[in-house]
Structure 1
Amino acid sequence: MQLQVMNSPFNQEQVELLNRILPTLTESQKVWLSGYLAAVQSLSIPGIPGAQLRTLPAHISEQIISKEITILFGSQTGNAQGLAKKSARKLEGIGFQVTVSSMSDFKTKKLKEVQNLLIIVSTHGEGDPPDSALTFHEFLHSKRAPKLTDLRFSVLALGDSSYEFFCQTGKEFDNRLEELGGIRLYPRFDCDVDYDEAAAEWLKGVLDSLSETQDGSAPQVHESAPQAVESVYSRTNPFKAEVLENINLNGRGSNKETRHLELALEGSGLTFEPGDSLGIYPENDPFLVDILLEELRWDPEEMVTVNKQGDVRQLKEALISYFEITVLTKPLLEKAIKISANEDLHELLSPGNEEELKAYLTGRDLLDLVRDFGQWGETAQEFVSILRKIPARLYSIASSLSANPDEVHLTIGAVRYATHGRERKGVCSIFAAEGLNPGDTLPVYIQHNENFRLPQSPDTAIIMIGPGTGVAPFRSFMQEREEMGAEGKSWLFYGDQHFVTDFLYQTEWQKWLKAGVLTKMDVAFSRDTEEKVYVQHRMLEHSKELFEWLQEGAAVYICGDEKHMAHDVHQTLIEIIEKEGGMSHEKAEAYFADLQQQKRYQRDVY
C-alpha cells in the first residue's frame, strides 16, 4: 500500500521518503524498526543514548551491535588458523573490524568485552583440544569463566569422522559459551576432513546473520590492503609436483621401509618454512578397487557424478582417485543403512550397540562392509553418494627451502599390516613406496603450521625429540639453521629399532655434529638391547643437563606418534622438571605450562 498525505499523519516530503525506503526493507529490518519505535515510545527518549541502550527489550538491544568481531582459533596442524585468517579477510572486506588471535595468545580478561565472537577450532587425538587451545579451554570450563550475557557467538568445528569423538572440542566450546549466557549468532558447523565447502557455508551464514542485525544498511565493500603475492596453488587447487627422487632409507634386512621423497616445486610459487607440512592427495590401490568392483558387480566404466559441482568420472577412476574406501566411519554406516535392507547392519547401528559398532569400525574398510552386509542400492551412483572424498595426507616437511630452492623433501614410513583376515596397506605411504617413480607427478599443497616454528632468535637453544619418521622436521630445522649461521645450541634425541638398518639420515647428523650445527645427539635403538630403550630413557639419563638447557631458555620440540611416544615424553619432561628443579608435582606442572605459554614447548604429533 502506498502512503499518501490523506491516509497518514505524514507531510508530503515524509510520505515520499517513506514510500522510497519501505519497499526496500527486509522482513527482519521491518521487525527491528517496529520494535525500535515501540521502545522509543515507551521510554520517551528521542535518541536512545548509548548509556540507556541496555534498558531496551532484549530482542532490540541484540540488533544494535558492534561492528567489531573477534576470531579465536585453536589449531594443531594449521587448518583452523588458515580458516580464521580467510574469514577475517572476508569480514574486513565488508566493513567489519576484525581481531584474529590464537587461543593461546588471547588475554582471557578481555573476554567480557567481546560482543561478537567466532570460534574456529579443531579436535585432536581422542577428543582433545589442540595444544594452542588447552589453556583457553581450561579457563572457559573453570569457575573463573565470566558470565557472557552480552556475547553473540558462532563455532566452526573441524574434525575427522573416522574418530569416535568427532569435533568434540568444537561441541564443548559451543555448549559452554551457551551455558555462560552467550547467544548463537549462527549454529555450529561440524566439518569433516574435506571441510572447504562446509566452512564456506558456515561463513556465509555468519555474514548473513551479521548483516541482518546491523543498523539496517547493506554491508559496504571496502578495498583491502594489498596482500603479499600468494601462489595460485592451494589445498583446493593442488600443484602437480614432479618426483625427483624416491629412495628407501632403511638398510637391507630392516623391518621397516621409509621413503625419502624429493619433489620439484619449480614454477609453483609455493613457499614454506621449517615446521610446515606438505599435503598430498593420494590414490587408492587399483588392486583393492578391482576386488571391490568384483563384489559390487557394477560396470567399471559406468559414469558417476562425484560432487556437488557435477563433475563426472568413470566408476573405477572415481574409486581410485576421488573417494575414500579404506576407512569406515559411523556417519558412513548411518548413510549406508538408508540404501540397505540388511537387518544385521541396522542392528549394528541400533541404540545400545555402541561398543560393538566401535569394534567393527576398527581396522576395516569399504570392502569389508560390502562383503559383510550384501548388496547396496540399485545403482552405482546411489552407492558412491554415501562416500566421502579421499582426504589429503599431511607430512612434515624434511627440508629447508633456503637450502634446497624449488624443492620439498619428505620422510614417509610405508604402512603394511594384517587384520581381520586380510593384508592392509596405508593409502598414501604405499602409493609413495610402490607407485611413484622419478618423473611421475603428485598433487600437493603447502600446509602452513605457525604452531611448530623455530625460535625467532637463532641464538636460542633448541631440544628436538623425534623417533623414526618424527625426525623429518628436525632435518629441515638443521638445514635452515646451517644456512642462517645460527649460534644457538641444538640437541637431538632420536630413536628407532636398529642402529645398522634404521638410523635415518645418519651421515647428515654426523656431518652436522662435526660442523657444530648440531651440538648434541642421543640415540635409542630399542631392538639392539635385551631391554627396550626409548628416547625418554635417554632424556632421563641426561636429566640434569636437559633441565639446565631449559633454565637457560631452550625451546623443546616433539614430533611423532601422540598416543604413545609424545605422551611418554611429556610425562618424562614433567618428571625431569620436578626432580632437577626440586619442585612439587604441581609446581612442575606450572613450570611446564609456562613453557607452553612462551611457545617453548611445541608439538607436531599425529
Structure 2
Amino acid sequence: MISLAELSQMNIPPEVLAEVQKYATPTGIADYAALAIIAGVSATFMSRGILWDKPDPYYHLNFERPQLKNGGQAGANANKETRNIAQKLEESGKKIVAFWGSQSGTAEGFAHRLAREISVRWGQETMTADLSDYDPVTISEIPSTKMVIFIVSTYGEGDPSDNTAEFWNWITKVGHVSLSNLQYTAFGLGNSNYKFYNQVVDVIVEGLETFGAKALMPVGRANDAEGATEEDFMAWKDSLFAVFKEKLGFQEVEAKYVPTLKVEEDESLEPIDLHHGEPNNQVDSPKGAAQSSPVRTLSITTSRELFTASDRNCLHMDIDLSNQPELTYKTGDHLAVWPTNPDSEVERLLEVLGISSRRDIPLIVKAADPATKITIPTPTSSIALFRCYLEICAPVNRDNVRDLAQFAPTPEAKTYLTQLGQDKDSYAAFTNRNNLNFGRLLQMACPGQTWNIPLSYLVETLPHIRPRYYSISSSSVVSPRKPSITAIASTTPLPDNPNELVHGVTSNYLLAISQHAQSQPHPHGITYHLNGPSDALEGGKVFAHIRRSKFKLPITSKTPLVMVAAGTGLAPFRAFLSERCQVQKIGKEVGQMILFFGCRNPEEDFIYRDELEEMQKTLGDKLRLVTAFSRTEGTPRQYVQDRISELGDEVVSLIDEGASFYICGRAGMAREVEKAVGTTMRRIKGWSEDEVNNWSKAVKKKNKWQEDVWG
C-alpha cells in the first residue's frame, strides 16, 4: 500500500492530493480499488517521457549547425575550430579564402581545384572554406590585404545550398555592416532550365556591393543546361588569373604539385581498424545531415522490371526498414543510395598505378596543411578508396589532364597530355569519342606503362562518391516500413562513337543487384562488389539513408491536385495517389485530381500503368489521367506541356478551387510546363506578363506550387 508521504513526493496536482487525504483511511474494497487506480494514474503520469510519449531522439538534429555534425576525426576538429574567418586566415597564414556553397559537390570541387592552383601557380597561400563553418559577420573583419572568392550554386526555385543558408540569411537580412575593406570575386553555378538561373550568386553579390565590398572583376556564371559548367569555370578562372597578374601584381611560378594531404601506409594496423567503404553522411555531407537519417544497411526485398523494351531498364525496388526501427519516412521523401564503382574500373586504376598487390595495405590520411579538412574516412585502404570513396568513373576535366603531365612516365605521354589539356576543341572532340575517366586516360596516354602518382593527389583531385537521391514511390500511410523507389538504368552512347557507352554508376549498380537476385548477369556485363565491405551488404542490401523533402501532399485531403510527371518523375505521384486511395477507403473525402504523365510510347515505358488504372477505378471521377507520348509511331509527338495547354480550362478551374500544383521530372520539362500554365492563365484571365509572374511568386511562396526536378 502506498503511503501519503510517498504520494506527496509524486508531483501529483494539489487538488488530487487533497481529495486523497479526505479519504486516507480505506474502509472497504471500493476504497482500496480507488487507491489502486490513483496509484496507477500517478505512476503513469510519472513515467511520461520514460515509458511513453518519449521525445524524438533525433529532434535535436533540427537545431544543430551542419558543421558540428561531422563526427569522428573531422567532427572533433570542427568543434575546436574558430568560427571567425578573419582569425582563421591570420592563424593559418593564408592570403586568400575560397568559400564554397554546394549541394551536389560541384562548387566544392571547383573551390578545392582553384585553391590548389592559386597556391602552386601563383605562390599565394590559399584555403577553402565551407560557408557554414564560419559566422557570416566575421567576413567584415577580413583586412584589405586579403581576398575572398565565393563559388556558390543555385538549385530549385533560386534556392541556396544547405550550407549557404546561414550566409544567405545574413547577407539578405542584415541591417548594416561595413565591408569596405573586403575585396572579392564570385562565380555562380546554375542551370538556365530553371526560372531563377544563378540567383544565389547574384543576390550575394548585390548584398556585398550594398555594404561596400570591392569586386575585382565581373561575376562569373556557369550554365549546366548547355553542359558548359566545366568550360565556363575555366574561362572565368583564366580571367581571374589575368586580374592576379595585371591588377594585383602576382608573379606566376612554375606549377608543381604540393600536397595538402598525406596518405601513408601503416602496416601495423589490423583490418578491424580500417574503414572498408562504409559511408557516413554525417561526415561526407555535413551540410545536409540535419535533413537526413544516418546511413544504414537496408534490404531490397523485391525488384521488378517496369519497361518492356529490351534495350532499356527501369526498376521498381521495395526496401525493408524493419531492422532499422529508428528510420522512418513520410510520403514525398527521398531515399539516398550510396553506390560502389564497377569492378573493371577499380581494377584498371589499381593496375595502371602499379598498386594491385598493395590494395589491402592500411592507409592513413592526414592533413599536411592545418587549414585542410579531411572528409575521407581514415584509416582505410586503396581498394576502399577506389571502390567506395572516390568517383573514379567521373570525366577528367582539362585542368586535371594538364596537371597529370607532370607525372607522365615518358616525354611522349607528357606532350600528349599537355596538348590535350590546353586545346579546348581537341579536348571536346576527344571526349566525344572516348569515355574519359581517370584510369582510361592514363592507359590511353601511355599504354602498358605504370604511373607513379601520389595517392594524395587522387584523394585531393577526384570527386568523392556521393549518394544518388530517388523520390520514394510509396506512401508512408499505406507502406510505412517498406518504401519503394523507381530507378531507370542510365546508359548513354558517346556523341561521335555510339558503340562506346557511358553507364550511370548508381543506377547500374542497382540493376546489377536486381539481376544478381534473379541469378542473371548485368545486361552489359558490368560487375560490382555486391557483398560490400566486410560482407555487410550480402543478400541484396544497400547503404542508404532517408532525406526529408518539402514535396508533400496538402494537409487536407479535400485539396484538389494537379500533378505533372514525365518518365520516372511519376514516382512520388504513385505515392500520392496511393495515399489518396487509402484516405477514401476509410471514408474521408478526397479532392479532385488530374495527373499528366508523359513517356515515349504506351507499349514500352508506360510505368505503373496497371496500378494507375486500378487507382483510377478506386477514385472514380475524382481522378483524371492524361497521357502524352513522344514516340508513338504514326502520331505527332506530344509532351505534357502540350496536354496542359489543351486542357487549360480544367487546369485553371482546379487552381481557382485551391489546387496544389506539383511537377516531377527534368528541369527543362518543368520550365515548359510553367510556361504553358502562364500562357493559359493569360488567355483565360486576360492577365499581363507581370500579373502572371506575381501570381507565380505568390503560389510558390504558399507552397501551392512545388517541384521535384533534376538536370
Q: Normalised by the size of structure 2, how large is the TM-score?
A: 0.55
**Mapped contact 1:239–1:444 kept (Cα < 8 A):** yes
Using the alignment, how far apart are the partners of 2:639 and 2:707 within structure 1? 18
In the alignment, which residue of structure 1 is the partner of 2:305? 248
Q: Secondary structure at the match of 1:112?
A: coil
In the alignment, which residue of structure 2 is the partner of 1:422? 500
**Mapped contact 1:75–1:130 kept (Cα < 8 A):** no
Mapped pair 1:285 → 2:309: no
Mapped pair 1:261 → 2:317: yes
Could you tell me which amino acid in structure 1 is paired with residue 452 of structure 2?
E
Percent identity, aligned pairs only, is: 22
Mapped pair 1:574 → 2:639: no
Using the alignment, how far apart are the partners of 2:335 and 2:188 within structure 1? 20
1:349 is displaced (CA, Å) by 3.5
In the alignment, which residue of structure 2 is the partner of 1:34? none
Using the alignment, how far apart are the partners of 2:690 and 2:223 within structure 1? 32
**Mapped contact 2:581–2:618 kept (Cα < 8 A):** no
How many residue pairs get aligned? The number is: 458
Q: C-alpha root-mean-square deviation of aligned residues, in Å? A: 4.7
In the alignment, which residue of structure 1 is the partner of 2:658? 553
Inter-CA distance 125–147: structure 2 relative to 1 (3 Å threshold): closer
**Mapped contact 1:248–1:259 kept (Cα < 8 A):** yes
Structure 1 unaligned segments of length 5 or more: list them.
1-26, 32-58, 64-71, 89-99, 151-156, 176-192, 204-229
Using the alignment, how far apart are the partners of 1:465 and 1:240 within structure 2? 33
**Mapped contact 2:191–2:223 kept (Cα < 8 A):** no
In the alignment, which residue of structure 1 is the partner of 2:414? 342
Could you tell me which amino acid in structure 2 is paired with residue 242 of structure 1?
S
From 532, 535, 554, the equivalent of 2:640 is 535
Mapped pair 1:319 → 2:395: no
Could you tell me which amino acid in structure 2 is paired with residue 434 of structure 1?
A
1:558 is displaced (CA, Å) by 1.1
Q: Secondary structure at the match of 2:544?
A: strand
Using the alignment, how far apart are the partners of 2:284 and 2:506 within structure 1? 25
Once the two structures are superposed, the pairs formed by residues 448-487 of structure 1 within 5 Å of their partners are: 448-450=548-550, 452-484=551-583, 485=588, 487=590
Using the alignment, how far apart are the partners of 2:589 and 2:201 within structure 1? 36
Inter-CA distance 368–442: structure 2 relative to 1 (3 Å threshold): same
Using the alignment, how far apart are the partners of 2:318 and 2:285 within structure 1? 32
Q: Secondary structure at the match of 2:641?
A: helix
1:276 is displaced (CA, Å) by 1.8
1:489 is displaced (CA, Å) by 1.9
From 602, 614, 623, the equivalent of 1:519 is 623
**Mapped contact 2:335–2:472 kept (Cα < 8 A):** yes
In the alignment, which residue of structure 2 is the partner of 1:42? none
From 463, 476, 482, the equivalent of 1:388 is 463
1:490 is displaced (CA, Å) by 1.6
1:324 is displaced (CA, Å) by 1.0
From 416, 437, 440, the equivalent of 1:368 is 440
Could you tell me which amino acid in structure 2 is paired with residue 263 of structure 1?
I
1:478 is displaced (CA, Å) by 1.8
Using the alignment, how far apart are the partners of 1:370 and 1:597 within structure 2? 50
1:259 is displaced (CA, Å) by 0.3
Q: Secondary structure at the match of 2:590?
A: coil
Using the alignment, how far apart are the partners of 2:284 and 2:304 within structure 1? 38
Inter-CA distance 132–384: structure 2 relative to 1 (3 Å threshold): closer
In the alignment, which residue of structure 2 is the partner of 1:126? 191
Using the alignment, how far apart are the partners of 1:75 and 1:448 within structure 2? 17
Could you tell me which amino acid in structure 1 is paired with residue 320 of structure 2?
A
1:270 is displaced (CA, Å) by 1.6
**Mapped contact 1:80–1:122 kept (Cα < 8 A):** no
Mapped pair 1:445 → 2:567: no
Q: Secondary structure at the match of 1:470?
A: helix
1:310 is displaced (CA, Å) by 6.4
Using the alignment, how far apart are the partners of 1:287 and 1:349 within structure 2? 26
Using the alignment, how far apart are the partners of 1:239 and 1:158 within structure 2? 35
Q: Secondary structure at the match of 2:502?
A: strand
Q: Secondary structure at the match of 2:317?
A: strand
Structure 2 unaligned segments of length 5 or more: list them.
1-85, 91-137, 143-151, 180-185, 214-220, 241-278, 366-373, 518-538
**Mapped contact 1:300–1:316 kept (Cα < 8 A):** no
1:597 is displaced (CA, Å) by 2.6
From 589, 592, 603, the equivalent of 1:489 is 592
1:441 is displaced (CA, Å) by 0.9
Inter-CA distance 113–402: structure 2 relative to 1 (3 Å threshold): farther
Could you tell me which amino acid in structure 2 is paired with residue 305 of structure 1?
L
Using the alignment, how far apart are the partners of 1:282 and 1:256 within structure 2? 20
Using the alignment, how far apart are the partners of 2:209 and 2:387 within structure 1? 51
Once the two structures are superposed, the pairs formed by residues 300-315 of structure 1 within 5 Å of their partners are: 301-302=358-359, 303=361, 305=363, 308=374, 311-313=378-380, 315=382
**Mapped contact 1:78–1:449 kept (Cα < 8 A):** no
Inter-CA distance 196–164: structure 2 relative to 1 (3 Å threshold): farther
Using the alignment, how far apart are the partners of 2:428 and 2:405 within structure 1? 16
Using the alignment, how far apart are the partners of 2:648 and 2:564 within structure 1? 14
Could you tell me which amino acid in structure 1 is paired with residue 554 of structure 2?
P
In the alignment, which residue of structure 1 is the partner of 2:210? 147
1:427 is displaced (CA, Å) by 0.9
In the alignment, which residue of structure 1 is the partner of 2:520? none
1:199 is displaced (CA, Å) by 7.7
1:590 is displaced (CA, Å) by 3.2
Mapped pair 1:404 → 2:479: yes
Mapped pair 1:602 → 2:706: yes
Q: Secondary structure at the match of 1:271?
A: coil
Per-residue deviation, residues 427-478 of structure 1 (Å, max 9, x unmatched):
111111123455411000112222x222233322211111111101111222
Using the alignment, how far apart are the partners of 1:381 and 1:602 within structure 2? 44
Using the alignment, how far apart are the partners of 2:579 and 2:153 within structure 1? 28
